[in-house]
Amino acid sequence: MQTQPETVKKPIIFSGIQPSGTLTLGNYIGALRNFKLLEDEYDCVYCVVDLHTLTVRQDAAQLRRRCLELAALYLAVGLDPQKSLIFCQSHVSAHAELAWILNCYTYMGELSRMTQFKDKSAKHADNINAGLFTYPVLMAADILLYQADLVPVGVDQKQHVEITRDIAQRFNGIYGDVFTIPDVYIGKVGSKVMSLQEPTRKMSKSDPEETYIALLDKPEDIRRKIKRAVTDSDAEIRFDPENKPGVSNLLSIIAALTGESTAAVTANLSGKGYGELKSTATECVIETLSPIQAEYKRIMNDKAYLQSVLDQCAHEASRRANRTLDKVKRKVGCAPHGKA
């Protein structure tokens, strides 16, 4: 857990991932990997956003397990609880409290323009609940509670960071400088990893198995899924997301994992066949995921350690979050506490 002297103030990062399924290579490249890359330069707060997951019906036992698994993956990619706070959203009640207050400063009109709301309400037409609609307000509360300067996410979440900025600016406009206005951080390569089967759609953990690579997939599953990944019939290796989405997706995955540019990766493979492209992608993915999987196994075998990290970080997160929440309550006119 962080024990930073107040004098060396680094800019603050907040980000979160939903424990709504097995994490995919998309989550890793678009989000998790950047969490680690930014860890030393920023004061980082990384959350398992379990309350957000309730917007879609969940099995309680499975969700409980997934919260711990996601926290273990945070640690397995190398996040260090001595440097970053790693905790579950539902352990810090300030998130839900601030979300309520911010709901009263957010318009129905702006929420109804959110593409994730439109997508998810089409996908879950039998359960279009109020939480699905106000989802971005809880996300705004997450970010604003910690006075975050930067929010690393995949490109699909950009609109939610923008509405967070709008809500914060509106609130500050009325009450003075209460919230830091956060910027979005989107990685240069791999901010939108595409489905292996439908490469014009985002790779998503709530889609069928064969469309994504899970971070915990075995090498043989990774081999099979990449082998079956949709490409095209003209056999030329060229980076052209519009006309060759499948091939370009594999090139981007290799680029993201090797740290090379897509131009360099494409040049190395030019003139070769799709078989070679796929085997290069497979090797890069297996090489990246193997050490993460080994570390994950180790952490999951030490649940007491995992739980102690989550408990201690939640305690510190509550302390920091409540500083902002108390200020907000005072500003809006909530009843003062009596002197104890």
Contact 245, 199 (CB under 8 A): yes
Out of ligand LTN, ligand ATP, none, which partner does residue 14 contact, by CB within 5 to 8 A per kind?
A: ligand LTN
Asked whether position 54 contacts ligand LTN by CB under 6 A, the answer is no
Asked whether position 17 contacts ligand ATP by CB under 6 A, the answer is yes
- Per CB under 6 A, contacts with ligand ATP among 144-183 are 153-154, 156-157
Contacting residues for 277 by C-beta, under 8 A, at least 6 apart: 231, 237, 247, 250, 251, 269
- Angle at which helix 158-175 crosses helix 303-332, to 10 degrees, equals 40
Least distance CB 199 / ligand LTN (angstroms): 20
Residue with the CB atom nearest ligand ATP in the bound state: 30
Asked whether position 299 contacts ligand LTN by CB under 6 A, the answer is no
User: Catalytic pick from 202, 225, 244, 278?
Assistant: 202
Select 53 or 266, whichever has its Cβ closest to ligand LTN: 53
Asked whether position 28 contacts ligand LTN by CB under 6 A, the answer is no
Asked whether position 203 contacts ligand ATP by CB under 6 A, the answer is yes
Catalytic status, residue 339 = no
Distance CA 220, CA 239 (A): 27
Please give the radius of gyration of the chain, using alpha carbons only, rounded to the nearest integer.
21
Nearest of 5, 76, 90, 89 to residue 45 by alpha carbon: 89
Catalytic status, residue 120 = yes
Judged by CB under 6 A, the residue of 20, 134, 280, 324 near ligand ATP is 20
Q: Which two tokens stand for residue 311?
A: 């408990």
Least distance CB 87 / ligand ATP (angstroms): 16
Asked whether position 250 contacts ligand LTN by CB under 6 A, the answer is no
Select 27 or 266, whichever has its Cβ closest to ligand ATP: 27
Asked whether position 324 contacts ligand ATP by CB under 6 A, the answer is no
Least distance CB 184 / ligand LTN (angstroms): 9
Distance CA 88, CA 98 (A): 16
Helix (H) or strand (E) holding 16: strand 12-17
Helical segments of the chain, H only: 25-27, 33-38, 50-53, 60-76, 94-103, 108-111, 115-123, 130-145, 158-175, 219-227, 245-258, 262-269, 274-300, 303-332
Catalytic status, residue 202 = yes
Nearest of 217, 239, 265 to residue 27 by alpha carbon: 217
Residues making contact with ligand ATP (CB under 6 A): 17-18, 20-21, 24, 26-27, 29-31, 153-154, 156-157, 191-193, 202-206
Q: Which residues are catalytic?
A: 120, 202, 205
Residues making contact with ligand LTN (CB under 6 A): 14-16, 18, 49, 52, 139, 142-143, 151, 153, 157, 160
